Amino acid sequence: MKKTYLDHGATTQVNPDVLEVMLPFLGEFYGNPSSIHSFGRETKKALEEAREKVAAGIGAEPREIVFTSGGTESDNIAIRGVARALQKKGNHLITSAVEHHAVLDACLALKKEGYELTVLPVDEYGMVSAKDVEAAITDKTILISIMMANNEVGTVMPVAEIGKLARERGITFHTDAVQAIGLLPLDVNDLSCDLLSLSAHKFYGPKGVGILYVRKGAKLDVFNFGGAQERRMRPGTENVPGIIGMAKAVEVVVADREKRAARISSLRDKLIQGLLKIEDTKLNGHPEQRLPGNVNVSVKYVEGESMILSLDLKGIAASSGSACTSGSLDPSHVLIAMGLDHQLAHGSLRMTLGTDNTEEEIDYVLEVMPEIVARLRSMSSVYTGSKKE
Amino acid sequence: MYTGKVMEHFTNPRNVGEIENADGVGEVGNMKCGDIMRIYIKVNDQDVIEDVKFRTFGCGAAIATSSVVTEMVKGKNLDEALEITNKKVAEELGGLPENKMHCSNLAADALHKAIEDLKSKRNQK
C-alpha cells in the first residue's frame, strides 16, 4: 500500500543531504570536541562551523547559539533559566494558553514555586493578542514566552509586535519557533526576541538535537552542571553528528523557504477546501494567519482516534487532539482554549504537510475521507443523520 | 498498540445500528471523555437476548468493545449476560492498551444498563 505522510508537525524525514553530512561523524570523525588532540580538533572545527551556519540562518551571531537536545530542553533552559536569574528584578511571567506543554508546564511548575503567572487566553482562532500581552505586563514582569506558530492549529502569532513591546520595557522575550523555521521568515532581530527555541527533527534534521538562541546579554541561570560546553548553559559532550546534520538542515530549509512554503500552502488550501466540503466540518485555527503546512478540522459526530485509525488503514498518517491521542483523559488544551466544545475537540483531525507531499496525495486523502467519515458517523451514538436527507 | 482482534472489530464491527421498540436501551460515557456507547437489546419470552445492536461515538477501543460485546451476548439469557464484565470484554479482544482500560472499556456497563432498563420497564407494566 502506498503510504502518505501528513504528520510533519510530529516529525519529518531526514533530508538526504543532511544524512550525508552526518555520516562521517558517526564513523571516521568521532573525537570529543573538548579534546585538544587532532581527533578533538577535527570535530571542534566542524561544530563551530555548524554554529556559524545556524547563526547565519536565523540572523544571529555564532556565540548566541546554544546546542541542546531539542525543543523541550531549549524551552526549559530558557524559561527556568530566566525566571531564576531575574528573580531579584521581579517574579511575574506571561505566557499563553495554547503554548506547547514544554513551555506551559515549565511555567506552571514555576508558579508552584511561587512565581506569579499570567496565562493569556486566545481568540476563537487560537490567536494571542499583543494588546492582551501589553495589558498583562506589570513592573514585576521578567519574562514573556509566546510561541511563533501553534503546533496544533497552525495559528501564527504576532510575535514581532510582542517582541517590540517587551524590548521597549526591558522584559526578556522567549519564543518557541519549533514549528516555524523553514516555513515563516525567521530572523531574531526582526522578532526582537532574546531567546528562541528550535528542534532539528521538525525541519528535516535528526531527532535529539535542537537550538536555543540566547541574545548577547540575556541572563540565564543554569540547572545542569558538568563541563564547560555550550558556555555552561548545556553541559555535556555535544551530539556532534546531530548538530552537523541540524546545521545542514537549517541551511537547506532557509535557502528555499519561500518557494517551498508557497507550494506547501497551495496543497494545504486544496486539502482544507476539500475537507470542508464534508458536511458538518469546521476549520480550526486562523484562516489566513496560518502555518503553510497546517490543516486542522473538526468533524462533528466522530471521534479523532477512530479517524486516525481509519486513515492509517488507508496508509495515511495524521494526528488528532482527541483525549485518546493526547495521552491524557482530556482533549487538546489548545482546542479547549479556543472555545471548542468537547465533541469538536475530540473530533479534531490534524494533517501537517511537508516538502515531500504531492497533489496526488491530497487527491487521495480527499477521495477516502468522505467514506471514512460516513462509516464512522453511521456507527456514532450522537449522529442524527445528514441534513441533506 | 491495538491487537489484531481489536482492529478486526473496528474495521468490521458487528451489529451496528438501532433496534426499533427495543426492550432495553443502555447508554454510558460522556462527551467530556469522548466516548458515548449505546446498546439496544431485544429479548424473547424465555429472556434470551435475540437481537442486540450498538451505536458508539468513540475511539477504536470504544467501537471494538461495543462490537465484541454484542457478539458475546447474542443468544445468552439475561443472567448470563449480566456475568459479562468489562474485563471479560477486554480479554475477548486479546487485551487493550492500559490507558484504554478505564476510559473506553465500558461496553459491558452499557449492556448492563440496557438490562436494567428492560427490568424497570417491566416493573412499570
> Does residue A389 register a pLDDT over 90?
no
Residues A139 and A245 in one domain: yes
Of B55, B99, B103, the CB nearest to A379: B55
Interface test with B, best of A376, A381, A383, A384 (most B CBs within 10 A): A381
Is A324 found in the same domain as A195?
Answer: no
Report angle CA B66, B50, B10 to the nearest 5 degrees: 20
Do residues A212 and A267 share a domain? no
Task: Annotate B100-120 with DSSP letters as a single string.
Answer: HHHHT--HHHHHHHHHHHHHH
Range(s) of the domain holding residue A228? 16-255
Does A388 have pLDDT greater than 80?
no
Do residues A204 and A320 share a domain? no
ipTM, two decimals: 0.95
Q: What is the b/e burial string over A137-176, where b = at least 16 CB atoms within 10 angstroms of the residue's CB?
A: beeebbbbbbbbbbbbbbbbbbbbbbbebbeeeebbbbbb
Q: What is the DSSP string of A273-336?
A: HHHHTSSSEEE-S-SSSB-TTEEEEEETTS-HHHHHHHHHHTTEE-B--SHHHHTSSS--HHHH
Q: Is residue A222 part of a domain?
A: yes
A248 and A285 co-located in one domain: no
Show residues of chain B in contact with A312, CB under 8 Å: none
Q: Does B13 touch chain A (CB under 8 A)?
A: yes
Position A11 in a domain: no
Mean pLDDT, all residues of chain A: 96
Interface test with B, best of A324, A368, A373 (most B CBs within 10 A): A324
pLDDT tens readout for residues A183-236: 999 999 999 999 999 999 999 999 999 999 999 999 999 999 999 999 999 999
pLDDT for A325 equals 65
Contacts of A324 (CB under 8 A, 6+ apart): A303, A304, A305, A346, B34, B59, B60, B61, B100, B103, B104
Q: Are residues A277 and A328 in the same domain?
A: yes
A230 within domain boundaries: yes
User: B34 vs A331: CB contact, 8 Å cut-off?
Assistant: yes
Q: Considering only residues 341 to 370 of chain A, which have any Cβ-Cβ distance to chain B shorter than 8 Å?
A: 341-343, 346
Asked if the C-beta of B97 comes within 8 angstroms of chain A's C-beta atoms, the answer is no
Active site residue B59: no
**A321 compared with A265, residue with greater pLDDT:** A265
What CATH number is associated with residue A79? 3.40.640.10
User: Across all residues in chain B, what is the average pLDDT?
Assistant: 94
A331 assigned to some structural domain: yes
Indicate whether A307 and A248 sit together in one domain.
no
User: What's the pLDDT score for residue B33?
Assistant: 85
- Chain A residues with beta carbon closer than 8 angstroms to that of B33: 323, 329
Q: Residue ranges of the domains in chain B?
A: 4-124
Whether B33 sits among the annotated catalytic residues: the reply is yes
Instruction: Assess if residue A211 is contained within a domain.
Output: yes
| Domain assignment present for A1 | no
Residue A169 shares a structural domain with residue A283: no
Contacts of B16 in chain A (CB under 8 A): 378-379
Model confidence at B99: pLDDT above 90: no
With pLDDT > 70 as the criterion, what percentage of chain A qualifies? 98
Give the residue from A78, A59, A53, A54 showing the smallest Cα distance to A212: A78
Residue A274's CATH number: 3.90.1150.10
The rounded distance, in Å, linking the Cα atoms of A100 and A149 is 10
Q: Is A6 contained in some domain?
A: no
**Is 3.30.56.10 the CATH number for B4-124?**
no
Last residue of a domain, one of A255, A272, A297: A255
Q: What's residue A40's pLDDT?
A: 98
Residue A103 shares a structural domain with residue A50: yes
Residue-wise pLDDT for A31-73, tens only, equals 999 999 999 999 999 999 999 999 999 999 999 999 999 999 9
The mean pLDDT value for B18-39 works out to: 94
A301 and A348: one domain? yes
With CA atoms as reference, report the closest residue to A300 among A341, A352, A272. Answer: A341
- Give the E-state strand segments of chain A in sequence order: 4-5, 65-68, 92-96, 116-120, 141-145, 172-176, 195-199, 210-214, 281-283, 294-299, 316-317, 348-352
* Least confident residue range of A56-65, A286-295, B95-104: B95-104
Residue B103 confidence (pLDDT): 72
State the alpha helices, DSSP H only, in A151-303. 159-169, 240-255, 257-276
pLDDT of A327 reads: 64
When CB atoms are compared, the residue of A304, A309, A329 closest to B103 is A329
Same domain as A26, residue A155: yes
Model pLDDT for residues B42-90, shown as the tens digit of each residue: 999 999 999 999 999 999 999 999 999 999 999 999 999 999 999 999 9
Question: Cβ of B7 and A381 within 8 Å?
Answer: no
Q: Give the number of domains in chain A.
A: 2
Residue B49: which of B6, B19, B27 has the closest Cα?
B19
Residue A389 lies inside a defined structural domain of this protein? no
Residue A326 binned pLDDT confidence (cut-offs 50, 70, 90)? low
